[in-house]
Structure 1
Amino acid sequence: MAKTAIGPDEMGRRYDQSASITDVMNEGQVHLAYWYGREDTTPLREASRRITGKVVDALGLRPGERVLDAGCGLGLPALDVAEATGAHVTGVTVSQAEVDAATKRAAEARMQEQVRYQRADFMALPFPDASFDAVLAMESLVHAPDLDQALRELHRVLRPGGRVGLVEYTLESEAAGLEVEEFFGNLGLGNVLTMQGWIEAFAKAGFAVEEYTQCGPRVFGMGPKYIEAARGIRERVVAQFGTEAYEGLEGGLAGFFEISAGRVGYVVAAFGKVRG
């Protein structure tokens, strides 16, 4: 799929605009959710935290390790990682609104000494070489204007033997269709690759795949559950943002999952730094 032309400033502006309504929808998380089936009644917030748990397990994080959350969103995943593992987490995002919301969330949890957030672009990170033991990239690399450059930066800031936990959309096949490419491109999602495509991109940057799990049917295959979650907060969204904003939220979700069903998967993977 062709790379998006949307740069970090424009992407930051988009997330600045959507941060408040996203926080209402999924309480500190920007990524998707995992349900075991249509009969699973787990709330969206907890179903989303399952994704964080899966990438933590794949990375095998240990107390005291230094973790970069590259594209940290509204901050809850970094807090969950720190609490579950004892790691120290630094989150970066191009959205100042997300930094502000995440920093407030860490302060409320009294974890600001263990977790911090700052506005930065993962294409040009403000950290020395070998600063981190692990990187989380949760639905963030899909936005990179230059995926090769983004992966080189992650490689640079990782210590030898460090690893990346990837949570990302995947094409079910190369023949997923131009309709998917155009739709996702308009959202700024320009790097939707097959699983083999992700493996090849990471290999080019000096990583080897260690583990991957395809979760698509339990993530993209659960579109009606996201609509149900949106309807459950309708009154709150209308009161805070207006009817038009709510209609945009529900309509956007419906279109997103309609176009994705059966064409787009969802992978949780771990890659290890093997050179450099």
Structure 2
Amino acid sequence: MENTTTAPIDIATMYDESTPMSNAFNDGQVHLAYWYDAVDEASMREASQRITRRVGESLGLRPGQRVLDIGCGLGTPALELAQDYGVTVVGINISRVQVEEATKRAASANLGDSVTFQHGDWNTLDFPDGSFDAIVAMETLLYATDLDRVLRGLFRVLRPGGRLALTETTRESSMGIEEAAEFAATFNAQFLKSTAEWLEALTAAGFEFHEYLQCGPRVFGKGPKYVAEAESQRAHLTEKFGAEAVDELGKALGYYFEAGAGKVGYAVITAGRPLG
């Protein structure tokens, strides 16, 4: 069962409205974070960067390569990949607010020549065939209105031998399909797939599977750390957004991680376009 009621314009509105809080809460990173254990003292920013680094490592990026980042958020992962690997990155996002903020970040980092962001719907890409050496999709594809069409579009714009890395929350065996659909709907996602279902979808679109890391216990399983982070920033966030907004953030985080506790994983999956 999939949630087919959320249109791209609704997703754009959701991110337009949440961007100021996301920007302040985790310094421009809108994906989840990776902690080694409950006593890991890494900041949320540092823990979030670990996910980006794992994506870069899984892609085997090399200097001069061209990378497409779909659903690029506020641009921080794209900037980090450009700085760490010497690649050029094109980010595409349906949220105009996020594209504007990402562009400002690129300029502030003096990376405007190597990292660019554009407003657009990645459900339908208009780049030429074989335009990119690698593609990044971080917590993005679960908003695809037609996943098969999107994956085939990504396959098309990837050069032969190129790689795709995606990161997504995943449905574990303890969560039924209907429960997964209900959980996904709480954050306007179209679906919540298991790792095996992602591999099936990628294979059907022509990709060959390379590897996956299922790191749910160190990402989604660290829910209390996200809630604690929101509380530690209460004074700062309250000054910017008001006490009611901060209370809502805490409640939303608490519900999200409590509802999925023990049932939701997190996977970094890498696949490629065959050379032949």
TM-score category by the smaller chain? over 0.9
Equivalent in the alignment of 1:7: 7
Count of matched residue pairs: 276
How many angstroms apart in 1 are the aligned matches of 2:69 and 2:199?
A: 20
Equivalent in the alignment of 2:151: 151
How many angstroms apart in 2 are the aligned matches of 1:123 and 1:181?
A: 20
Is contact 1:122-1:154 (8 Å) kept?
A: no
**What does 1:63-82 correspond to in 2, within 5 Å?**
63-82=63-82
Is contact 1:206-1:275 (8 Å) kept?
A: no
What residue ranges of structure 1 are gaps of 5+ in the alignment? Answer: none
C-alpha RMSD of the superposition: 1.4
**What does 1:97-112 correspond to in 2, within 5 Å?**
97-112=97-112
How many angstroms apart in 1 are the aligned matches of 2:14 and 2:35?
A: 28
- Residues 101-151 of structure 1 deviation map (CA, whole Å, 9 limit, x = unaligned): 100001000000010101111111131111101100100001111111111
Provide closer, same or farther for how the CA distance between residues 27 and 152 of structure 1 changes in structure 2, counting only shifts above 3 A. same
Is contact 1:207-1:275 (8 Å) kept?
A: no
Q: Secondary structure at the match of 1:145?
A: coil
Quote the offset at 1:152 in angstroms: 1.2
**What does 1:11-30 correspond to in 2, within 5 Å?**
11-30=11-30
Is contact 1:176-1:263 (8 Å) kept?
A: no
How many angstroms apart in 2 are the aligned matches of 1:9 and 1:49?
A: 29
Equivalent in the alignment of 1:47: 47
Is contact 2:174-2:262 (8 Å) kept?
A: no
Is contact 2:76-2:102 (8 Å) kept?
A: yes
How many angstroms apart in 2 are the aligned matches of 1:152 and 1:45?
A: 33
* Percent of matched pairs sharing the same residue: 48
How many angstroms apart in 1 are the aligned matches of 2:254 and 2:176?
A: 19
How many angstroms apart in 1 are the aligned matches of 2:36 and 2:144?
A: 30
Q: Secondary structure at the match of 1:211?
A: strand
Is contact 1:70-1:93 (8 Å) kept?
A: yes
Equivalent in the alignment of 1:230: 230
How many angstroms apart in 1 are the aligned matches of 2:241 and 2:21?
A: 8
Equivalent in the alignment of 1:188: 188
Quote the offset at 1:172 in angstroms: 0.8
How many angstroms apart in 1 are the aligned matches of 2:236 and 2:193?
A: 36
Is contact 2:132-2:158 (8 Å) kept?
A: yes
**What does 1:257-276 correspond to in 2, within 5 Å?**
257-274=257-274
Equivalent in the alignment of 2:221: 221
How many angstroms apart in 2 are the aligned matches of 1:186 and 1:275?
A: 40
Quote the offset at 1:180 in angstroms: 3.9
Q: Secondary structure at the match of 1:54?
A: helix
Is contact 1:120-1:126 (8 Å) kept?
A: no
What residue ranges of structure 2 are gaps of 5+ in the alignment? Answer: none
How many angstroms apart in 2 are the aligned matches of 1:139 and 1:175?
A: 19
Quote the offset at 1:22 in angstroms: 0.4
Aligned AA for 2:213? T
Equivalent in the alignment of 2:178: 178
Is contact 1:180-1:259 (8 Å) kept?
A: no
Quote the offset at 1:182 in angstroms: 1.1
Equivalent in the alignment of 2:38: 38
Q: Secondary structure at the match of 1:163?
A: strand
How many angstroms apart in 2 are the aligned matches of 1:17 and 1:132?
A: 31
- Residues 159-212 of structure 1 deviation map (CA, whole Å, 9 limit, x = unaligned): 111110111111112743634421321311223111110000001110011010
TM-score scaled by structure 1? 0.97
Equivalent in the alignment of 2:241: 241
Provide runs of 4+ in structure 1 moved above 2 Å: 174-181
Provide closer, same or farther for how the CA distance between residues 237 and 32 of structure 1 changes in structure 2, counting only shifts above 3 A. same
